Amino acid sequence: MSRPARSPTDRGTKEVIFLPRKRLFKWIRRIFLLALLAALCALGVLVYEGYALYRDALAEQSLEDRVAEIRENPSYAPISDLPQTYLDAVVAVEDHRFYQHFGVDVFSIGRAVWQNLTTQSLAEGGSTITQQLAKNLYFTQDKEFVRKIAEVFMALHIEHSYSKDVILELYVNSIYFGDGYYCVRDASLGYFGKEPIEMTNYECTLLAGIPNAPSVYAPTVNPDLAAQRQRHVVAQMVENGYLTQEEADAIVPDAE
């Protein structure tokens, strides 16, 4: 008895089942590689544009001239005229790895990138004190990728040119504290009626918290929110080893 003939469909079963799947995987891999290449090309363009913006800013005014311009402000306060508590508070709340990084904090940037991707916005900046100084000296407050990249290049340039203490000094003399105060001395005189070196620990920690959102945390605008922010600053100082809990508990408005 002869075997029944196999149909073309039977003979091609393996091809029908397996070949399309292999081809599908190949196409998926190709699409992924093309998407990755496109993303790298786009990133390369952004980096180039950011570097060009950084170079254009320096061509318009050198870093040395810009720093000299800031220091010409009659209200400029050298770091020797600032309380250590205030300086510690600024570092603790704004950039607690300030003395460890090279101007750019890769951990903060990684966190910021994740936040920005998940929220599809540029709400999270991940900027160090040095990057914020670069922005204050040369760039706008707009949250744009090209400007952020230029800011990174400028921060690296600043770190190469100045010590950490000088960078911190320049930073607190170029940030906005609300109520029209654009440096630490004007803010101290305006809010407390005293020179920065005379500020109490409470005033130091209150002032350190304002630049994050001056329109919100200025004590003349929202005293309750300013006090809440001050407590956050103190908590950050404890967390980062600048204060013991006992010292933190002693920092209250009427303690000094």
Residue range 117-141: average pLDDT? 76
Q: Give the sign of the dihedral formed by CA 140, CA 145, CA 148, CA 149.
A: negative
Full-model pTM: 0.81
Chain-wide mean pLDDT for the chain?
Answer: 87
Regarding predicted confidence, which is higher, 120 or 212?
212
> Using the 8-state DSSP alphabet, how is residue 99 labeled?
T
Regarding predicted confidence, which is higher, 13 or 171?
171
Residue range 231-251: average pLDDT? 97
Q: Please answer whether residues 169 and 161 qualify as being in contact, where contact means their C-beta atoms are separated by less than 8 angstroms.
A: no
Q: Which of 11-15, 83-87, 110-114, 234-238 comes out lowest in average pLDDT?
A: 11-15
Q: DSSP assignment of 177-240, as one string?
A: -STT--SHHHHHHHHHSS-GGG--HHHHHHHHHGGGSHHHH-TTT-HHHHHHHHHHHHHHHHHT
Q: Which of 122-131, 184-193, 209-218, 234-243 comes out lowest in average pLDDT?
A: 122-131
Regarding predicted confidence, which is higher, 84 or 127?
84
187 burial (CB, 10 Å; 0-12 / 13-18 / 19+) is buried
The pLDDT-based confidence of 143 (bands split at 50, 70, 90) is low
Indicate the CATH number for domain 26-58+68-249. Answer: 1.10.3810.10
In this predicted structure, what is the pLDDT of residue 186? 98
Q: Tokens 């600032």 identify what position?
A: 82
In this predicted structure, what is the pLDDT of residue 40? 78
Regarding predicted confidence, which is higher, 147 or 12?
147
In this predicted structure, what is the pLDDT of residue 140? 77
Whether the pLDDT of residue 68 is over 70: the answer is yes
Q: Please answer whether residues 48 and 149 qualify as being in contact, where contact means their C-beta atoms are separated by less than 8 angstroms.
A: no
In this predicted structure, what is the pLDDT of residue 46? 83
In this predicted structure, what is the pLDDT of residue 150? 93
Q: DSSP assignment of 109-150, as one string?
A: HHHHHHHHHHHTSS------HHHHHHHHHH--S---HHHHHH
Whether the pLDDT of residue 6 is over 60: the answer is no
Q: Tokens 């599908």 identify what position?
A: 24
Residue range 131-137: average pLDDT? 96
Whether the pLDDT of residue 19 is over 90: the answer is no
The pLDDT-based confidence of 4 (bands split at 50, 70, 90) is low
In this predicted structure, what is the pLDDT of residue 45? 76
Could you report the per-residue pLDDT of 41-66, keeping only the tens digit for each? 777 878 889 999 999 999 999 999 99
- Cα–Cα distance for residue pair 231/154, rounded to 1 Å: 33
Break the chain into its structural domains and give their ranges.
26-58+68-249
In this predicted structure, what is the pLDDT of residue 256? 47
